[in-house]
Every structure is written in C-alpha cells, then in structure tokens.
A and B are shown apart, each in its own frame.
Chain A
Amino acid sequence: MMEKTLIRRVNRWFTDSGQLTCIEVPLGSKRIDLVSLNLGTEAVTAVEGKISDWRSGLLQALPYRLCADYVYLAVDERFAHRVDRKACSRYGVGVLAVNGTASVSLKAFPSKVIHRSLHEEVRSFVERVSRVQSRG
C-alpha cells in the first residue's frame, strides 16, 4: 500500500462518519497529512500516515498536538504490531491500523499542549477548504 492510499482510506473513514476533512494542512512550514473536524464537538483530529516507519511518524506527529485535540499515527495494518504503544501513549498519540479501512488500534488522549492560535488556524483552514470543495 502506498502512503497516499493509506491517507485516502483514513480520509474516507472520517468522511463516512460525517466529519469534514482536509489533506495536506499547513502548520507553519510543516504539512499535516490529514486533518478532520467534527462539526458537532468542534474537535480537531490530526493524522500522520506512515506505511511502516512508525518512529519517524511519531516524531512528525508530535507538533500536531499543538493544533489538534487528538493526534493519530496511521500505519499499514500489517505493521501495526511493531508500533511502540508506550512511546505513543506517553504523548497521547493514538494509532490507526489501516487495511481496506481504518480501525483504532490505540485510542488517542486529548492533547495537553494545545496552542489556541494554532488550533484556530487549522480548524478554520479545514472549514474554509471544505466549504470551497463542497461548492466545487
């Protein structure tokens, strides 16, 4: 499975549950693979997709805690058992195992290090882009 495919499947999983989503969301000079916005709760979830290299995925995902209520590391289901769940839990990062669809392998905890300005920036970006997409 390609990383792009993996993200597409996670994206579908979120949209199927009625959430707004956006791919490649800017966070300063970085890009978040996928962000979903729950319109009911206003909760923002950020996802970093990696086929198997969970370590670099976790490193990349750590700053996402600044702008998202929940952060997930999405990995190919075949490699999900390799992920150090303890390392992820330490930072509240959850794990999604992805095959045909995504399933929660480790639940994310709400971020304790949210920076309100960044949260708002990302939330409004997703809303704006989704609105444009729905018009198109």
Chain B
Amino acid sequence: MPELWYRLGSAQEQGILQTMRPQHQGIVVPAHVFAYGRTWVSSFLGKIKKPFVIDPMTYVLALSREQITGDSGLKKSWDTLLGLYHEDVLKPLRRRPIRAADMLGPRDLPSELMKAFVRRTVELQTTILVRGSRSQQSLEKYRKILGEESSEVGLRPRAILSPYFHFDDMNDPWWKVNVQLVKDAKNLATGIPLYAVILTSVESLGGMDWDIALSSIGPVDGYVLWISNYSELKADIDELTAVLRTVRRLSSDAPVFILYGGYFSLSLAAVGLTGLISGICYGESKPITSKTTGGGMPQRYYVVENKMKYVMAEVRSLYSDAPGRLCGCRVCLEIRRESGPDRSRPSVKSVAKFFDQVDDASSKRHFLEVRSGEARTVARMKPREIVAALARLRKEAGDARLPAHGMTIGHLERWAAALEEA
C-alpha cells in the first residue's frame, strides 16, 4: 500500500494526526516549524510514536528573502532556524540569497561554505532539533532521577533528507550542487538512511537522462520528488506521463516519495511509488516561490467524486442538490449520527444539519479517512483497473452535476489517459 505521510503545518494539526493515527504512516516536519516549536513538536512526535523526517527546507535560501520575511522582518520561525547554523554559514546566508557559485569552487570542488552547510543541515536532523529544548533536557534529567521513562527526547528520524535546491536541468549549476550535497550528506549520515530530494520543474522532467543523473548521485536509500510549478489537477497528459515515467525510473532504483501530490500521485503506486507527502487537505501542489508559511486558509472539504477540495458553501450547495451523495466515510457517518437520526435517504435538511457540524478539524479527519481508503484501494488495483475506475468516477461526477456547480472533472480523463501508459 502506498504510504501516506503528512506535513505538520501547525500545532492545531497535532490532535487530528493523533486521532487519525491509523490513517497515516508518517510525519514530515519542516525544519523551520521544528526549530520554532521545538517543545511542542518533539513532545508530539514522542507521543504519536510514528516515523518522521525533517524537511531541511534549504531551497528557500536560494530564493528572494521575501519568501521568509514578513512585515516586521525575517519570520520568527526562519530566524530561529537560521540561528541554529554556525556563523560561518550564517553570515553569507543573512546577506543575500545563496548562489550555486557559493557552493562549488574551482573544478566543481565543494567550497568551505558548502561543507559547513551540509554538515550543519545533517546535524540539525540527527541531533540538534531532535534532542529537544534545554528545558526538555533538564526535565528529562529529573525524570531519570525519578526513574520515569520518557520518549520525548532523543527522537530519531526515519531518514535524513539531503539539503536541496531547485534545478532546471542537468546543465544548471544547481544540478551539480545538488549532486554534491547528496554525496556529502551521505558521508555524514552514518547509520541512518539518506534520501535524496529532487526538486525540479515539470518541463524539465522530459529532458532528464535519469540513467546519467542517478549514476552521478550514486546509491541512496530513497528519493523525495518535488515537482514545482506542477499541479496534477491542471497538468496536461504529456506532463502527467513525464511524472509517471520519472517515478517508474526512480523507483527501479530506490523507494520514491512524491512531495506535494494528490490522487494521481497516489495512483502512481501502480508504477512503483512508495509514498505520498502532502498537507492535511492542502498542499497537493506547491511552486517553490510560494511563501513557506501561510495560515488563514478557508475551511475546505474533500469531494470524493472528483478528488478535489472546495470551500464549504460550494460543497453544501452541491450536496443539497443531491443529498443522496453525502459522504458515507466513517468520519462523516459519525457526524451524521450525532447531527440527528441518520435516515437512509438524506434530505436537504439532513445535509444542512450535517454541514453545521462539520468544522475544520472534522473536514480534515474526513480527508484523512477517505485518502487512507483510496490508498488501500489503489494498492489492490492493476493500472488498467485504476484507468477503468477513473472513467467510472468521471461518469459519476458528471451524473452528480459537478460541472454545473463549477467543479471540474476533466482532470479525471487526463489522469486515466496518462495511466494508460502504465
């Protein structure tokens, strides 16, 4: 079954991930979130006892500072993270965005900056972030004195993610930097798996010679693939096929996780995908230039019929016109039972009552429940069965009059066409 890993975006998501523990396989913590919320993040990871990795988020350092600054300067989470780098790394980072030329010296040998940068990025994941805050460490001392057991300190990530930057193609100087970063990180990450993060754009995928690329990188324990400027909902068949081929090629080498993907990515389990990383009901596509922290996103609800999320008013409207299609997942059935007698044929009134009870947390729980079911189903299917299922889904979505409500269904057809190749 493809693994479902979720990015921890805020402290509010702890409860949801804890409640829905069986519906996911792991947690990805962005380094700046970990650095700023070290106490609650390590306490949460200790409690939930799920595999986790830390996303080092290094790509941001090559972008304009606007990405990590707010109205009053550098965002606190980023200020905290950068503060954990040594001064020799920090000085050039604070001054301006990092350049490929800063990392590789003459004859493409790693510069002193790169060496220090890789070392610290790996240390952040293996020791600095995961050892807990000072107060946690002293609490731990007392626990030991009292003979109590604790798992809140000394956390160990499932794997180390290599420091990474966006590259356009193999002629881009950033490609060479990425290769060197993986190699150096591999030497430093002893006794722990190392995953290479590949961050590129969808238009670059077709031009990549993966045989050469992977032999340059050398053996790794896995890949995390982030395709920037790509949304599987909007992508054309050629782009989707390029993603499929990339996943197939990479997975013949080592386990592959897609970072920021949705149902189409999940269905690439049919060609070898190991897992999918996304936010909870958000973050299924992300350009590198989007700001790294947001907030204020309106509550959305996952519509099973077309695998997309919509704001509540739109979803209420859709299901009010077709009450019989109200979701029957475990989470939704529970809410339906709580919101009144659950009649076998729901009415507009019961749709209204149901959505009156659906808050942001339950929307997210519904998403986790449904996505987990989708992962189980996809795992049992052969590629041609997924293609047939998508065709059925498209028909049902049409019958449910989704387009009349402004909800697109064309992507289902494109996904099926791309998966034909599998």
Residues of A within 8 A of B (CB): 27-30, 56, 59-60, 62-63, 65-66, 91, 112-118
Contacts and interface: CB of A to CB of B under 8 A. Distances in A.
Given A63-B317, A114-B348, 17 more contacts: A28-B312, A29-B299, A29-B311, A29-B312, A30-B313, A63-B313, A63-B316, A65-B317, A66-B317, A66-B320, A91-B321, A114-B352, A115-B316, A115-B348, A115-B351, A117-B352, A118-B352
Contacts of B36: none
A28 B311 contact: yes
21 contacts: A28-B312, A30-B311, A59-B406, A62-B314, A62-B317, A62-B405, A63-B313, A63-B314, A63-B317, A65-B320, A66-B313, A66-B316, A66-B317, A66-B352, A91-B321, A113-B317, A114-B352, A115-B320, A115-B348, A115-B351, A118-B352
B172 interface: no
A16 to B, nearest CB: 29
Contacts of B351: 113, 115
A56 to B, nearest CB: 8
Contacts, number: 54
Interface residues of B, number: 18
A28 B298 contact: yes
Interface string B389-416: 0000000000000001110000000000
A112 B356 CA distance: 18
A117 B356 CA distance: 7
B313 A116 contact: no
Contact of A115 (B311, B314, B352, B406): B352
A103 to B, nearest CB: 27
B189 to A, nearest CB: 43
B320 A29 contact: no
Interface string B280-314: 00000000000000000011000000000001111
Contacts of A30: 311, 313
Nearest to B403: A59
A28 to B, nearest CB: 4
Interface of B: 298-299, 311-314, 316-317, 320-321, 348, 351-352, 355-356, 404-406
Nearest to A66: B316
Contacts of A66: 313, 316-317, 320, 352
Contact of A116 (B321, B352, B405, B406): B352
A113 B348 contact: yes
Contacts of A63: 313-314, 316-317
Contacts of B348: 112-115
B263 to A, nearest CB: 23
A62 B298 CA distance: 19
A27 B298 CA distance: 12
B313 A28 contact: yes
A28 B299 CA distance: 9
Contacts of B406: 56, 59-60, 62
B322 to A, nearest CB: 10
A113 B356 contact: no
A115 B356 contact: yes
Nearest to B314: A63
Contacts of B312: 28-29
A6 to B, nearest CB: 21
Contacts of B317: 62-63, 65-66, 113
Nearest to A32: B313
Contacts of B298: 28-29
A83 B404 CA distance: 15
B312 to A, nearest CB: 5
Nearest to A116: B352
A27 B356 CA distance: 13
A70 B390 CA distance: 37
Contacts of B356: 115, 117
B313 A27 contact: yes
B313 A59 contact: no
B153 to A, nearest CB: 41
A62 B317 CA distance: 7
B339 to A, nearest CB: 11
Contacts of A118: 316, 352
Nearest to B297: A29
A62 B356 CA distance: 18
Nearest to A62: B317
A47 B375 CA distance: 42
Nearest to B352: A115
B52 to A, nearest CB: 32
